[in-house]
Each structure stands twice: as structure tokens, then as C-alpha cells.
Amino acid sequence: MEDIRLKDLTLDSILELVKTKNPEQKEFYQAVQEVMETVVPFIKDHKKYQQSGLIERLLEPERSVMFRVPWEDKDGTYRVNRGFRVQFNSALGPYKGGLRFHPSVNLGIIKFLAFEQTFKNSLTGLPLGGGKGGSDFNPRDKTDAEVMRFCQSFMSELRRYISKDTDVPAGDIGVGEREIGYMFGQYKRLTAEFTGVITGKGLAYGGSKVRTQSTGYGLLYFVNEMLKEGHGSIDGKTVAISGSGNVAQFACEKAIDLGAQVVAMSDSNGSIYDKDGIDEEKLNYIKHLKNMKRGRIKEYAEKYNSEYKEVTPWNVDCDVALPCAAENEITAKEAKTLVKNKVICVAEGANMPCTVDAIKILQESGVIYAPGKATNAGGVAVSGLEMTQNANRLSWSFDTVDERLVKIMKRIHKKCVKYGKNRDQINYLKGANIAGFIKVADAMIAQGNV
């Protein structure tokens, strides 16, 4: 049998290689397709990037670790989950990317997230490589003590592969301040070191101001820049948001702050529609409901007498749609509904929430669409700022960090415009992919075939 190799630098050959080498990893395949559809034509026009082995190396993680996570539940039963860390690309700096705890987690999902993270981190302009990790553990139906025991066991193994200078994880779905705290505590105990090995920490022990808000706030700063290109601004626009977790909550907060009216939010069971808009008080209720009570969004509808349906929030009248929950939540069907309802802008708070078909429908219908690697990069950007503060034993003010976040998001927007402008339209997907690619590829070429 022959070696499996890339035949040529066409999209078909690249996708064939990925499919053959990663059977069953459909999310990873999808992420590669999304990036390569725009990057391959660029490579064709730029000889430098046709160097042998470059694309194969870009598609292969530097390292993928899978490990056993044994823990004890509240009934004294021994349970076992699977842990992952994919260190995808360190051309630009130490691996950086969150940890996801959700039953759907598998190697393909973590690989797609780590691949995306590589380009996202490149776009931030900070010296960060790309990685991602997590477990198929579901913290949602567990007690605090169970979550703590799980996090301690997870970190007992993960610590072998991370450090403040090599790989710095953070949060993602199912991993918030509570989980970060337990993991940081265990790392400190095992190494007897107090270092910035993980970001998203509590403010009392090395966390950065604005980290909690950063992904949602950054998303809105980016959307505002998008709308300024011919659609005014976010002020006065109607917004629908999916999810009601970290990203969704702070996207909602900043949207309200910038004068928009948020009418819909959701969780994995269903969505609420509040025609009067979610104001600050109602949002505080959602934060308490989701973060402290770990309740369901349905309770919002009961409290504020609004609509609740066991469907996604994409069937409501809105100017701006912000998917902030999970991958592939907007398929061709939802995209057609959004187009029918005359949505102006779709910007991804989540990672890969739109399918390839959905993106095509949105773009062909004139909806301005921007991918998560650009729009949700605010989270990792502030994580990068947290690393800088930790390394220098500093704690910057809220305003200082927020101002830097605004600047970073504006800079990312500019890069997308630079590489994505086609006549009178901006193709944000193309712009983000090419801008992200150039920096990583240049660094890889400079560092040789490693």
C-alpha cells in the first residue's frame, strides 16, 4: 500500500487527504473545507505558499493527547471519562485555546476547534499558537463536589502537557470560572507553582478584568464595525441571540449598551421571544438563572410573560442574528428563514455555528456574514492579555483592558476588509481565512520543515 500523500494543491485533493486520514471526523473536515475554499485560490496566486509539505503540516496537529479521567460520583460509584488536548500549531507562540466539557466532545470536535483556534489566534496579532481540549464529561447535572473531583482528576493528567510557556488552556462550553478555579487549584497543588498556566481565572487570583465579558463584548465591537460599512451602526437594530451562556450573556449586555434591542435568547431546550426587548434587569435575571441556579431559559418566559418555544431562535424578525451556542446550529433551513425575515447581518459568537451550505445561502442573498475565527476572537485576545499581566505580576483596570479589546477587534475587522474586499462587497470569511493563514504560514516557512 502506498503512503497517503497530498496529490496536488487543489481543493479536491486537500479534502480527499483530510477525509482519508481522518475518517469520521466530520467537524474537522468541515472546518478544513471552510478555510481551504478561500485559501486555495490565494495559494494559487502566491508561489511562496506552494512550498512542499506546508499544507500537509498545516492540516496535521503537532500533538494530540487522549487520556483517561477517573473520578468518584456522589453515590461512591467510580466513573471514567475521556480527556483530550490537541496542540495544533505553535508557529506563532505557545498553544492557546479553551477546554470544553460536554457529552458531545470527541477527538474530531477538539481537532476542528484547535484548527480554527490557530487562525483565530493569528488574527488577534498576539503571539499565540492554537490548541483546544476538553472532555465528554457533562458538568450540568453534577454537584459542585463532583465537578471539583472531576476537574482535579482531569488536571492531574493534563498538567503533564501544559505550562505557562508551552500550552495555556482556558474555558469554553461547560467550563466557566468554577471549573477553571478547581483546575488551577489542582495544578498549583501538583506543581507547587503559582503561574498563569490557565486563563479565565477569578479576579482574586490572577484573572484579567473583562475576560468574562470579552468574547461577547468583542463580538459586538466587531458587528458594529461591520454595520458601519453601509448599514449605520448597531444602535437601533433588533438582535436575536442563541444560547444563554457566557458568550450570549455578554453579547446581549453589550448590544443593549450600544442601543440595540435584543428580542430572543435560548438554551439547548428552546428559546424565548420578548418583543419588548431584554433590558438590563431582565439580563441580570438570566445571568442569575444560568450561572447560579443552573436553570433553564424557559423560566424567563414564565417570569416575564413572554413567548417560549422548543425551537431555535432564528424564526423571529431581527436585523442581526448572533449564534452564540454550538456548532452547526444554523443549517440551510435556518439560513433561508433568516433571509426570508430580511436579516442584515449574521456574526458568529460560537465556533462554526453555520454549516457550509448556510454560509453560501447567506452570502448569495447579500447578508453580511462573518465567521467566528474573526468575530469571537475577543475571548482569546483578552486571555492573551491575562498572560501578559500574569507574567509581569500586573493587574490592569477594566477600562485599560476594554480599550485594548476594542482596538484588537477593530484591527481584526480591518484585516478582514483588506483581504476580503471584492468590488463593493466584503467577504469576511475569505478575509479572515487569508489574513489568519498568511501569518501562520509565514512563520511555519521561516521555521523550516518541523
The catalytic site residues sit at 132
Site for ligand NDP in 1-60 (CB under 6 A): none
CB nearer ligand NDP, residue 83 or residue 134: 134
Site for ligand NDP in 97-156 (CB under 6 A): none
What is the nearest approach in angstroms of ligand NDP to the Cβ of residue 278?
14
What is the nearest approach in angstroms of ligand NDP to the Cβ of residue 440?
18
What is the nearest approach in angstroms of ligand NDP to the Cβ of residue 218?
9
Per CB under 6 A, the list member of 171, 196, 371, 436 interacting with ligand NDP is 171
CB nearer ligand NDP, residue 40 or residue 94: 94
Site string for ligand NDP, 319-358 (x = CB under 6 A): -----xxx--x-------------------xxx-------
- Alpha-carbon distance 208 to 128, whole Å? 17
Strand partners, 347: 370
Site string for ligand NDP, 255-294 (x = CB under 6 A): ------------xxx-------------------------
Which part of the chain contacts ligand NDP (CB under 6 A), choosing from 70-78, 165-173, 179-187, 314-322?
Answer: 165-173
Can you tell me which residue has the cell 426587548? 277
What is the nearest approach in angstroms of ligand NDP to the Cβ of residue 147?
13
CA angle, corner 250, sides to 247 and 251, nearest 5?
75
Per CB under 6 A, the list member of 376, 389, 390, 433 interacting with ligand NDP is 376
By CB atoms closer than 10 A (0-12, 13-18, 19+), residue 4 is exposed
CB nearer ligand NDP, residue 208 or residue 244: 244
- Alpha-carbon distance 323 to 300, whole Å? 19
Can you tell me which residue has the cell 518541523? 450
What is the nearest approach in angstroms of ligand NDP to the Cβ of residue 15?
23
What is the nearest approach in angstroms of ligand NDP to the Cβ of residue 212?
8
CB nearer ligand NDP, residue 55 or residue 252: 252
At 238, give phi and psi (nearest 5°): -95, 135
Per CB under 6 A, the list member of 43, 58, 168, 173 interacting with ligand NDP is 173
Per CB under 6 A, the list member of 126, 148, 247, 359 interacting with ligand NDP is 247
* Cell numbers linked to 37: 475554499
Per CB under 6 A, the list member of 93, 131, 379, 431 interacting with ligand NDP is 379
Which part of the chain contacts ligand NDP (CB under 6 A), choosing from 31-39, 42-50, 170-178, 404-412?
Answer: 170-178
Strand partners, 408: none
Per CB under 6 A, the list member of 133, 245, 371, 436 interacting with ligand NDP is 245
Site residue total, ligand NDP (CB under 6 A): 23
CB nearer ligand NDP, residue 17 or residue 286: 286
What is the nearest approach in angstroms of ligand NDP to the Cβ of residue 198?
13
CB nearer ligand NDP, residue 172 or residue 225: 172
Amino acid at 88: F
Kindly state whether residue 243 participates in binding ligand NDP, applying the rule CB under 6 A: yes
Cα separation values, 393 from 116, 175, 411, Å: 30, 25, 27
What is the nearest approach in angstroms of ligand NDP to the Cβ of residue 350?
3
Kindly state whether residue 315 participates in binding ligand NDP, applying the rule CB under 6 A: no
What is the nearest approach in angstroms of ligand NDP to the Cβ of residue 250?
9
CB nearer ligand NDP, residue 43 or residue 321: 321
The residue sitting closest to ligand NDP, measured at its beta carbon, is 245
* Cell numbers linked to 158: 493534563
Kindly state whether residue 172 participates in binding ligand NDP, applying the rule CB under 6 A: yes
CB nearer ligand NDP, residue 323 or residue 431: 323
- Alpha-carbon distance 350 to 137, whole Å? 20
Binding interface with ligand NDP (CB under 6 A): 171-174, 215, 243-248, 267-269, 324-326, 329, 349-351, 376, 379
